[in-house]
A and B are shown apart, each in its own frame.
Chain A
Amino acid sequence: MAITEVQGRPLLLGTKKARVRTWEPGPLLLLAPALASIGAVSVYPVLLGLWLSLRDTTLASPTDSFIGFGNYRQLLADGQFWNAWTHTIEFTAASTLLETALGLMMALVLSESFRGRGIVRAAMLVPWAIPTVVTSKMFGWLFDGQNGVVNYLLRGMGLIQHNVDWYGSTSSALWTIVVADVWKTTPFMALLLLAGLQTIPHSLTEASIIDGANPWQQFWHVRLPLLAPTLLIAAMFRALDAFRIFDLVYVLTGGGPADSTEVLSTMTYKNLFSALQFGYGSALSTMMFITEAGIAVIFGAILLRKLREVGQ
């Protein structure tokens, strides 16, 4: 901070007056292209979306008039909306919990020094780099109801008697998507948590070893409390991202069977581009916004409390 303040003030060098001034793009002008792009593609459309959500715009017919909160009233009474809302929350909670827990375990393994650690870390980037659409298709094949290798292995181990139609039956489809998401995202979570673990001063872990703490006590009483803020922040970003899930569901199940995996993003997409209900679809995405803000506020409150505890 201080460094740049000095940089910004050539007067410290006493040459301000003497310097020949030629025209140069001001700092704000350098920012302009980036801010203009973000503004045009993110900020303006969000406002336009809010406006659309108050209209009965459809692309299929010329109706396009202001109807106030009509869309929202219709939405709150729409069983399909609450169905998708519940699935989205369930998916978000399950995947965030599993990814945080598994990611923490992976991070703890990686924080030890052992031979071949670099290889493990490199391998963990593979799921992250794979396009989500490919992940969907990949899990579609692994969990295929007829020839999938998961059925084959589970039958071999005697865990199931007959092939299970994992994402073709209403009872297991959402869980199959959770598994695919956990596969794809956990390694990345682990890397974030590893970064947090490595900021814990060695003197603290060393002191606990001298005091005779076993690895378990050391984890539970020294590292976990210190990692809590990182853990919460990582979980919050994960939850916000999981809440938006679209690609996995759209490609693997398309929301089916019988709407059992319909989430808010896929429902919104269908309302927009299948039913062409731009007004209603925009109201849906606004409700997503509100729920996301709610999630952020809950995590923010927990985080503040944790930080205060640590501060005391």
Chain B
Amino acid sequence: MRDAGIHPQKSKPAINFPAPGRVLLYACAVFIVAWSVGPFLWQTSTSLQLDRELVSGSPKLVPAPFTFEHFVNIFAGKSFHRYLFNSVIVAFSTTFLCLLFGSVAAYALARLDIRGRFGILGFILAVSMFPQIAIVAPLYVLASGLGWLDTYRVLIVVYLALGLPLVIWVLFGYFRSIPPTIDEAARIDGAKPLRIFFQIILPMSLPAVVTTGLLCFIAAWNEFMFALAFTSDINHQTVPVGIANFTDLHYVPWGDIAAASVVVTLPLILLVLAFERHIISGLTGGAVKE
């Protein structure tokens, strides 16, 4: 019926589609790209158009005339930099602590003698499945008792705990894959586990650590519910809360919202594209191959 059936190609195990199938394949690929990128492109274009163009009734993708007024609005009028500053502090602190605590824990679980390690890993996974709304009320009570409401630290501590399961799981897999001969000599010389970790294992695992850190950062940067519940003033509110509150009394400032979306998302997208391969292998346990 098809060539592939008669002459199976060793090097190319994928099905060799006949020409129409090939066209369909490319059509699907183009559709996937358009689907994934289209809405954000539209948002970017919106951020560069004048309000009167946005409500003119004939939307267009290419901004003409071109304007930066929405970007000026969000910084000059809505102090967007304040939210950005808060988000940067919270997300970077979370990432640092997550990597510090998580990598040490993953190392202990992966390479040291711990009884019931899989029980502990299972427990960590189960905890990450809890509905987060279930802990927001008790945490609110605790935080207000400690006087931690409207602080950075309450968000950092919560995001740390929410991020740790992913960090531990991904790094656990990575550390297990390092052959034991690597640190054997150091162990025989009597080096302490922590020293072995910081001087041998960690430097070797830098790509995995950076990727996991990126995942942590994105999670902390994007989180909304806890930030909404635990902060109530612009001095500690993060970017998602800021954007959610971007509504004027009489109309929705779509242009300003679009500008804020672009400012918040563009750095993430650039980071993600730069680390694309590592992220995919991190998220899928190394299963997606080239």
Contact = CB atoms under 8 A, between A and B. Distances in A.
Given A34-B105, A37-B101, A41-B161, A246 B138 contact: no
B interface majority secondary structure? helix
B175 to A, nearest CB: 10
Interface stretch (B63-71, B74-82, B203-211, B268-276): B268-276
B134 A109 contact: no
Contacts of B40: 126-127, 130, 138
Contacts of B276: 118, 121-122, 125
Contact of A124 (B32, B109, B190, B289): B32
B261 interface: yes
A46 B161 contact: no
A7 B46 CA distance: 58
Contacts of B17: 112, 215
Contacts of B110: 4
B272 A129 contact: yes
B190 to A, nearest CB: 6
Contact of A45 (B139, B176, B179): B139
Nearest to A20: B190
B72 interface: no
A130 B268 contact: yes
A288 interface: yes
A229 interface: no
Contacts of A45: 134-135, 138-139, 142
Given A45-B138, A119-B33, A183-B35, A285 B257 contact: no
B139 A41 contact: yes
B264 A134 contact: yes
Of the four ranges (under 10, 10 to 19, 20 to 34, 35 or more), the interface on chain B belongs to 35 or more
Given A109-B29, A251-B244, A131 B264 contact: yes
B134 A247 contact: no
Interface residues of A, number: 113
Given A25-B193, A215-B17, A7 B180 contact: yes
A244 B138 CA distance: 17
B57 interface: yes
Contact of A114 (B29, B165, B168, B254): B29
Interface string B74-102: 00000000000000000000000000111
A152 B138 contact: no
A206 B237 CA distance: 56
A48 B141 CA distance: 10
Given A141-B46, A218-B15, A134 B265 contact: yes
Interface in A1-38: 3-4, 6-10, 13, 15, 19-20, 22, 24-25, 27-28, 30-31, 33-35, 37-38
Contact of B108 (A30, A125, A127): A30
B62 interface: no
Interface string A247-283: 1001100000000000011001100110000100110
Contact of B101 (A34, A132, A136, A205): A34
Contact of A288 (B43, B114, B134, B272): B134
A91 interface: no
Most buried by A among B104, B113, B136: B136
Contacts of A199: 287
A97 interface: no
Contact of A214 (B1, B161, B265): B1
A32 to B, nearest CB: 8
B129 interface: yes
B279 interface: yes
Interface stretch (A66-74, A190-198, A304-312): A190-198
B164 to A, nearest CB: 5
Nearest to B240: A133
A244 B101 CA distance: 27
12 contacts: A43-B127, A46-B130, A52-B141, A109-B28, A120-B29, A122-B276, A123-B36, A127-B40, A132-B222, A138-B40, A142-B42, A191-B284
Given A46-B130, A247-B224, A251-B244, 7 more contacts: A22-B192, A46-B135, A114-B29, A129-B269, A137-B257, A141-B46, A214-B1
Interface of A: 3-4, 6-10, 13, 15, 19-20, 22, 24-25, 27-28, 30-31, 33-35, 37-38, 40-46, 48-49, 52, 105-106, 109-114, 116-134, 136-142, 144, 146-147, 149, 152, 183, 187-188, 191-192, 194-196, 198-199, 202, 205-206, 209-210, 212, 214-215, 218, 240, 243-244, 246-247, 250-251, 264-265, 268-269, 272-273, 278, 281-282, 285-286, 288-289, 292, 296
